[in-house]
Amino acid sequence: MKYISTRGEASVLGFNDTLLAGLASDGGLYVPESWPQVGHSNAGVSFAERAAEVIAPFVAGEIPQATLVSLCKDAYATFRDPLVAPLREVGENRWLLELFHGPTLAFKDVALQLIGRLFDHVLKVQGRRITVVGATSGDTGSAAIDGVKACRNVEMVILYPKGRISEVQRRQMTTVDSANVHAVAVDGTFDDCQDLVKAMFNDVTFREQHQLSAVNSINWARVMAQVVYYFTAIEQLHAADSTSVSFSVPTGNFGNVLSGWIARKLGANVGHLIVGSNSNDILTRFFETQTMATTSVVPTLSPSMDIQVSSNFERLLFEMNLRDGKATAKQIGGFRSSGKLSVTSEQFGTWIRPVFRGQRCSDSDTLAMMSHMHEAYGVLVDPHTAVGLVATRACANPNEPVVTLATAHPAKFADAVEQATGVRPTLPEHLGDLMSRTERSTELPNDLSAVQRFVASVSATR
């Protein structure tokens, strides 16, 4: 399998080099040169074994299948539930897909536990060291740190928006006692952090000098690994050959729901993809108007979705442009300069309307849904999952099977859960002392040169 950039100018790479590159040299995002057909399995295999089957075509020719199976088994042995991503029924034709049983209690663990092991394997084979740089709106950072903290050939720098993530999210990054991990609080928003990361990658000299790599969902491997649980959810419902299953996904950066679109492209029996947004509703407005237009970021109870630039949409836009990299680069360039991006009615009617639905959700709607889930089903959900549930209620037909992605453990957002339900969720035993652990972080201004100086000071090439 080879990988090409959404902007059409970067070199074609194999999987290993795509993994380590993260962002393409032309500023685009890597995608497979072609989409394989995977299809469903009725075999009673473990999540790890199924992950290796789904991922196999994407690493073909680079990672032996036996090695891939071993890496997957090692990655998913870290999860507290043997199913890794179990389903919970919450009403007729409605389920939650619990994606928070990993070490850091968020869906990002599903990909990043595997990516840490992929990094270690590939770097050992190539005899290289890298500096992983990422931006987080809350959960990516802690999941990436946990996945990579034991990698001997990786230095990691994670940027997060100061004061805009929950205390649990922050402490999961700042209390990790590993010399190769560096948490950086940036005086700005998540979009500012993401822009700083992209700017460092677009500085080719700096990028090559310090051997930068990415863990955000700009890295293809993140999206690839998330495809797996769409397959396994359908297979748990024994719906591979029956009525299609729709998925409701609370979404900011578009990576998680894009994984659902890819699963559908590969042959998974995915019906509609429902996109839940909070007050930062750029995606909902796009589904309503065919135009993506940025506004100011508004802080909400679901901070991981407080985003106005959904980076992974570029991968879908590339497909909508029939894989014309120049056209995609022109549109993205215009979006960056004007804050607006429109698609044609034909593109919208062909690619968006048949598959996607969207719904915005206010903080009051979020709290009301969290209260309802507790009262009706005895289930505590975090505010991001609640946004997905509001979108399910607004967009799904009663007889339509819908799986809502439960993207984080409620204890990661204990204040919001307590506000909604009167119940304060507790952290799992392995994080029971999190609030008393010593924190270690660096504060930096929203300034590229300052961040680059810091990255250079901790670079893996030192």
Contact predicate 312/223, CB 8 Å: yes
Q: Which of 149-153, 220-224, 269-273, 384-388 has the lowest mean pLDDT?
A: 149-153
In the predicted model, is pLDDT for residue 190 greater than 90?
no
Mean pLDDT, rounded, of the chain? 94
User: Which pLDDT score is estimated for 288?
Assistant: 94
Averaged pLDDT for residues 31-37: 97
Residues 129 and 374: their CA atoms lie apart, in Å, by 47
H or E stretch covering 206: helix 204-209
Catalytic residue among 73, 108, 149, 198: 108
Q: Is the pLDDT of residue 2 over 70?
A: yes
pLDDT tops 90 at residue 22: no
pLDDT at 150 (0 to 100):
87
Structure confidence by residue, pLDDT tens digits, 360-381: 999 999 999 999 999 999 999 9
Helix axes 65-76, 108-126, angle to 10 degrees: 140
The yes-or-no verdict on residue 176 having pLDDT over 90 is: yes
Give start and end residues of each alpha helix (H) in 216-362: 220-226, 228-236, 255-266, 282-289, 313-320, 325-338, 345-347
Helix H or strand E segment including 120: helix 108-126
Q: Please write the tens of the pLDDT for every residue from 94-134.
A: 999 999 999 999 999 999 999 999 999 999 999 999 999 99
Vertex 113, ends 109 and 116: CA angle to 5°?
135
pLDDT tens track for 138-170 = 788 899 999 989 888 999 999 999 999 989 989
87-105+222-421: CATH architecture: 3-Layer(aba) Sandwich (3.40)
Extents of the domains making up the chain: 87-105+222-421
Mean pLDDT within 435-462: 92
pLDDT of residue 461: 57
Render pLDDT for 279-290 as a digit per residue (tens, 0 to 9): 999 999 999 999
Indicate the pLDDT class of residue 414, thresholds 50, 70 and 90.
Answer: very high
The pLDDT of residue 68 is 98
SS3 128: coil
Question: Which tokens go with 258?
Answer: 């894009």
The verdict on whether 108 is a catalytic residue reads yes
Q: What is the DSSP string of 353-399?
A: TTTEEEEE--HHHHHHHHHHHHHHHS----HHHHHHHHHHHHH--TT
**Verdict on whether the full-model pTM lies above 0.85:** yes
Per-residue model confidence (pLDDT) at position 239: 79
Q: Count the alpha carbons within 13 Å of 325 in the hemisphere toward its beta carbon.
A: 17
Reported confidence tier of residue 39, pLDDT bands at 50, 70, 90: confident
Residue 460's pLDDT is what?
67
Name the nearest CA neighbour of 1 among 11, 16, 21.
Answer: 16
Unique residue bearing structure tokens 């050959």 = 241
The whole-number pLDDT of residue 389 equals 98
Mean pLDDT (whole number) for 437-457: 97
Q: Is the pLDDT of residue 248 over 80?
A: yes
Residue 386: predicted pLDDT: 98
pLDDT tens digits along 45-80: 999 999 999 999 999 999 999 999 999 999 999 999
Confidence at residue 416, expressed as pLDDT on a 0 to 100 scale: 96
Structure confidence at residue 308 (pLDDT): 85
